[in-house]
Structure 1
Amino acid sequence: MTGIRIVPVAPEHRADWDRLYAGYAAFYNVEQTPAMRETVWSWLMDPAHEVKGLVALDEAGRAVGLAHYRPYARPLRGGYGGFLDDLFVDPAMRGRRIADALIEAVAAIGRQRGWGVIRWITADDNYRGRGVYDRLATRTMWITYDKAL
């Protein structure tokens, strides 16, 4: 992972972030419009919004990975955790432990904020991602449900 830096997402990362986030949506077969990306970008640029973002920069300063995270209350524990909403690495840059670095950067932020856990979900068939996650975290027994509104 030589030469990779993890930094908070900033205005100068917009074009790379847009490319990466569109790639993330395509990976999960989610139809995502430029307007939807604009909404998320506006959240990331709003210091008061709960959703925050990091990017992984290569040696040339190009964003090659992203992570979006936010705090969440854990009433049963009487504390807070962090939710890793989105994690994506440019397919050409995979295998360099960039995802590891992004996850660890979110974990470091969580430690600073007193969070008890970083949690995320992934698709059952995301085998490559799950290989990374199995190495870095503990798979839980919880099953996720969605009720469309």
Structure 2
Amino acid sequence: MSKVQVRAVELADRAKWGELYGAYARFYNSPQTDEMRDTVWAWLQDEANGLFGLVATDKKGDLVGIAHCREFARPLAASTGLFLDDLFVDPDSRGSGAAEALIAHIRQMAVDKGYTIVRWITADNNYRARGLYDHVARKTDWLTYDIQL
């Protein structure tokens, strides 16, 4: 058995997923309540929603990382892509290969489904993650803008 395995999120993952997702929100200084995590968990369980979750497990089977993805239309390219909304690895498991395994799994899923791109964003100061991202993807020239509502 390899060091890290990736699989779809399961109902039994709820507690540890919640811990990891809460830590992810804290990492980005994003206020998040238990009710908000309940909403995201419900989305992950609803096949009609479109958001799906993956988890990375260590050799003992413990959850050490999470990822959330969704399909998106690319009108200019007349194609479909896969958007990686969230990727987080427990700080104690960083360097274990969990992030690489999650990204590789997502990439293969995209290839298998005929998507033309896997896309994600990260904070400019997320240096550790960007070190990995620079090896597995191409940094674009696009800037992101938000209108807060």
Q: What is the TM-score normalised by the length of structure 1?
A: 0.97
Q: Indicate whether 1:10 and 2:17 are aligned.
A: no
Q: For residues 118-143 of structure 1, what are the alpha-carbon distances to aligned partners after superposition, in whole Å with 9 as ceiling and x for unaligned?
A: 00000000000100100110000000
Looking at structure 1, the residues matched to 26 and 148 of structure 2 have their Cα atoms a distance apart, in angstroms, of: 21
Q: How much has 1:36 moved relative to structure 2?
A: 0.2
Q: Which amino acid aligns with 1:143?
A: L
Q: Indicate whether 1:108 and 2:108 are aligned.
A: yes
Any stretches of 5+ residues in structure 1 without a counterpart? none
Q: How much has 1:32 moved relative to structure 2?
A: 0.3
Count of matched residue positions in the alignment of Structure 1 and Structure 2? 149
Looking at structure 2, the residues matched to 147 and 5 of structure 1 have their Cα atoms a distance apart, in angstroms, of: 38
Looking at structure 1, the residues matched to 111 and 46 of structure 2 have their Cα atoms a distance apart, in angstroms, of: 22
Looking at structure 1, the residues matched to 18 and 61 of structure 2 have their Cα atoms a distance apart, in angstroms, of: 15
Q: Indicate whether 1:27 and 2:32 are aligned.
A: no
Runs in 1 of length 4+ with deviation above 2 angstroms?
Answer: none
SS in 2 for 1:92: helix
Q: Indicate whether 1:129 and 2:121 are aligned.
A: no
Q: How much has 1:2 moved relative to structure 2?
A: 3.6
Between the aligned residues of both structures, percent identity stands at 50
Residue of structure 1 in register with 2:66 after alignment: 66
SS in 1 for 2:64: strand
Q: How much has 1:99 moved relative to structure 2?
A: 0.5
Q: What is the TM-score normalised by the length of structure 2?
A: 0.97
Looking at structure 1, the residues matched to 48 and 105 of structure 2 have their Cα atoms a distance apart, in angstroms, of: 20
Q: For residues 93-137 of structure 1, what are the alpha-carbon distances to aligned partners after superposition, in whole Å with 9 as ceiling and x for unaligned?
A: 001221011011111111111110000000000000100100110
Looking at structure 2, the residues matched to 83 and 9 of structure 1 have their Cα atoms a distance apart, in angstroms, of: 17
SS in 1 for 2:44: helix
